A and B are shown apart, each in its own frame.
Chain A
């Protein structure tokens, strides 16, 4: 078995694509129409184009339980997933300058530094620098 795709639930796929590419800096990899306006839509890291893909999945729009789960995590401030960065302070400043809202500013947590931001698609996302 291999890890090729992880999914992130999003409320609006087009808006999510813009956020994950224009704001975060990921690159679109696969975009296949699945009917009724849904897409198999994935993005990858610019540094690792052959690495795991993030599937921007419209599950909250189709399954009430997915919507409830996503909202519950969001309301508690819990990140849906996390991405690694080399320099969290630099990344924090870059994202803040684009107007992205952080619920946790860069914070030391033992051997890592973490920060959490709102992806505007219904999720908290954590970034992490390993110290």
Chain B
């Protein structure tokens, strides 16, 4: 067994011995991944994970380093980039990744990427055609 394998075993025992907690956060993350286009909130996620809202929030942050809301937003922005590259309009993209308002979607998108969705799409199309 290599030094790295020994370390993996050691760290697993220290950090990942709580199977029920792991199940809860993995289930939550999977649910988010599969339901980006739907309304997702902490109450719904806590029902799925069979944990209280605040406990789930703490657990998710502990294991993934970000809150469910932060993760959801990140995934939605990532997906929206794909849709924009594939030619969906900004409004279509907004609704397809679960945002309810195109203007707040655009504001959020710009705050994360430094470009509005329309500018992002224009650049993506230009890059593709070069």
> Are the chains A and B members of one assembly?
yes
Quick one: closest B residue to A50, CB to CB?
B127
Q: Are B16 and A76 in contact (CB under 8 A)?
A: no
Interchain nearest-CB distance for B70 vs A (Å): 15
Answer whether residue A77 sits at the interface, using C-beta atoms and an 8 A cutoff.
Answer: yes
Task: Tell me the interface secondary structure of chain A in the complex.
Answer: strand
Which of these, B2, B11, B15, B29, contacts A131 with CB under 8 Å? B29
Q: Are A77 and B64 in contact (CB under 8 A)?
A: no
Q: Are A104 and B26 in contact (CB under 8 A)?
A: no
CA distance A121 to B4 in the complex (A): 19
Q: Are B26 and A131 in contact (CB under 8 A)?
A: yes
Which of these, A76, A79, A111, contacts B64 with CB under 8 Å? A111
Answer whether residue B113 sits at the interface, using C-beta atoms and an 8 A cutoff.
Answer: no
Interchain nearest-CB distance for A66 vs B (Å): 20
B1-53 interface with A by 8 A CB criterion: 2-5, 8, 11-12, 15-16, 22, 25-26, 29
Q: Are A104 and B3 in contact (CB under 8 A)?
A: no
Residues of B within 8 A of A77 (CB): 2-5
CA distance A124 to B127 in the complex (A): 34
Q: Are A78 and B3 in contact (CB under 8 A)?
A: yes
Answer whether residue A109 sits at the interface, using C-beta atoms and an 8 A cutoff.
Answer: yes
Answer whether residue A33 sits at the interface, using C-beta atoms and an 8 A cutoff.
Answer: no
Task: Tell me the interface secondary structure of chain B in the complex.
Answer: helix
Q: Are B8 and A109 in contact (CB under 8 A)?
A: yes
Q: Are B63 and A76 in contact (CB under 8 A)?
A: no
CA distance A124 to B5 in the complex (A): 12
Answer whether residue A116 sits at the interface, using C-beta atoms and an 8 A cutoff.
Answer: yes
Quick one: closest A residue to B18, CB to CB?
A110
Residues of A within 8 A of B4 (CB): 76-79, 103-104, 116, 124
Which of these, B3, B5, B29, B63, contacts A110 with CB under 8 Å? B63
CA distance A76 to B2 in the complex (A): 6
Interchain nearest-CB distance for A87 vs B (Å): 13
Q: Are B12 and A110 in contact (CB under 8 A)?
A: yes
CA distance A131 to B11 in the complex (A): 17
CA distance A104 to B2 in the complex (A): 9
Which A residues fall within an 8 A CB radius of B? 50, 76-79, 103-104, 107, 109-111, 114, 116, 124, 130-131
9 A-B residue contacts at CB 8 Å? A50-B127, A76-B3, A77-B4, A77-B5, A78-B3, A109-B8, A109-B16, A110-B12, A114-B8
